[in-house]
Amino acid sequence: MTDEMWINMGPQHPFNHGLWNLRVKLKGETITAAEPIIGYLHRGWEKMVENRAYPQIVPLADRLCYGSSLSWNHLYCLTAERLFGVEAPDRAKYIRVAALEMQRITSHLTWLMAVGTDLGSYTIMTWSIRERELFLDLLCKLSGARMTYNYCRIGGVRNDLPENYERDVNRTLDEFDRRLRDLEALMDENEPFLMRTLGIGKMDGRTAMNLGLTGPILRASGVDMDLRKLDPYEAYADMKFEVCTHTDGDVYARYRVRMDEMRESMKIIRQALAEAPAGPVRVKVPRCPPKGNVVCRVEDPRGESLMYMVSDGTERPYRLKVRSPNFVNLSASPPMLVGFKISDVPAIMGVMDMCIGETDR
């Protein structure tokens, strides 16, 4: 045990959520080097969409991430709208904001579930999966699907809100508010959970920015960067909400940021549904966009996701490049891991919210 040794944690390992490999070099139980290896789930998504017409890509964009398919679906539609030079109607924008925030909550609850299993508490897992079900039901009512919604369209959304939707959503949010308090009590007042998370995987804001981290992990290091505020898209400019930050930059801070974000999302959902103006939800768009290129970025639940689209004037995109927040966050894992114990790997990597679908594309 005195020699250093490499340990493969993956591609088949209980701690991987998705198919990837984390190699860690151990001295005793302390990590001296780490190397994430990805690519097991590469489907050639970016190449594949070059042979599809623009509307055909919408359902494919869902498949980029199983945890938050709507945010990718929306990002594609938003990018395509800018390329086509159309704008979604106001009502569609508000509906999109509400749906996106519900998606953010389900995504964060999926993340919480993964953190629970990684740390060994199946109660956290089942409880967060239970709460997620509330929002899956709402999204199912809205779009007709539970996981891959295929809800956004280029130029709006597929359908208007169902009957009494705002009432249902508000009831669910009231219920979820209570349950979220239970969930927080399960972790914040739990000494073993604090022992596992406080002071682990520390990263200061400057390093995090230099490594290109985005999203909750960056905000947990005290950097106030949220594209919903900095570069508002859809109806976010009209929404009143706080950007959740934390100064510690450890695993607990990252956990805290995501929990706070769920509360902010609840606020946004209520506002968006209350303030949604009447009107159409979809506009007609031409078959082929003009020549040109466009870039668009949004705040995914995991960080900044970006699409760069080039059109050559035909009905198919010439090039579509995806920037996955997780791809960048994952490459920052070695500096987070080195110096900590192998037991900290699930805590550090679990709280990162891995999604291999969008990382490998």
Partner 1 sequence: MATLYTVLTDFTQWLMDLIAAILDWTKLGILSDLGDWLQSAPVVDFVTTLLVAVIYLITVMMFALCFIWQERKFLGRFMDRRGTQVGVLGFFQNFADGIKVVLKEHIVPKDSDHALFEMAIFTYLASTFMLFGCIPFSDNFYVIDVNLAVLLGIAIFAFGPFSILVGGWASNNKYTLIGGMRAAAQLIALEIPLLLCVVSVVVLTGDLSFVGIVAWQEENIWLIFPLCIGALTFFIAAIGESERIPFDLPEAEAELVEGWATEYGDIRWGLQMASDYFRAYILCALFTMLFLGGWAGPEFIWAEAWFLAKTFIVFFFFIWVRAATVRIRTDQILKLGWRRLLPLAVINLLIAVALKVAEVF
Nearest to 180 by CA among 225, 246, 242, 135: 135
Near partner 1 by CB under 8 A, which window of 54-62, 120-128, 262-270, 291-299? 120-128
Is residue 116 at the binding interface for partner 1, with CB under 8 A as the rule? yes
Is residue 76 at the binding interface for partner 1, with CB under 8 A as the rule? no
Instruction: Report the residue number, 111 or 233, with the smaller CB distance to partner 1.
Output: 111
Please state the closest distance from residue 346 (CB atom) to partner 1, in A.
Answer: 4
Please state the closest distance from residue 237 (CB atom) to partner 1, in A.
Answer: 40
CA distances, 32 to each of 5, 38, 59, 122, 207 (Å): 10, 20, 42, 30, 19
Ramachandran angles phi, psi of 332, nearest 5°: -90, 5
Is residue 126 at the binding interface for partner 1, with CB under 8 A as the rule? yes
Inter-residue contact 143 to 151 (CB < 8 Å): yes
**Would you give the end-to-end CA distance of the chain in angstroms?**
38
Is residue 346 at the binding interface for partner 1, with CB under 8 A as the rule? yes
Please state the closest distance from residue 51 (CB atom) to partner 1, in A.
Answer: 40
Cα 115 from Cα 198, distance rounded (Å) = 14
Please state the closest distance from residue 13 (CB atom) to partner 1, in A.
Answer: 6
Is residue 37 at the binding interface for partner 1, with CB under 8 A as the rule? no
Binding test (CB under 8 A) with partner 1, winner from 23, 263, 267, 341: 341
Cα 79 from Cα 306, distance rounded (Å) = 9
Instruction: Report the residue number, 1 or 278, with the smaller CB distance to partner 1.
Output: 1
Give every strand in the sheet of 317-323, ordered side by side.
292-300, 303-311, 317-323
Nearest to 291 by CA among 84, 9, 42: 84
Query: Of residues 173-202, which lie at the interface with partner 1 (CB under 8 A)?
Result: 186, 190-193, 195-196
Cα 221 from Cα 208, distance rounded (Å) = 7
Please state the closest distance from residue 9 (CB atom) to partner 1, in A.
Answer: 8
Near partner 1 by CB under 8 A, which window of 153-161, 254-262, 267-275, 343-351? 343-351
Inter-residue contact 284 to 156 (CB < 8 Å): no
Is residue 121 at the binding interface for partner 1, with CB under 8 A as the rule? yes
Given the rule CB under 8 A, which residues bind partner 1? 1, 5, 7, 9, 13-15, 26, 29, 116-127, 130, 186, 190-193, 195-196, 341-346, 350
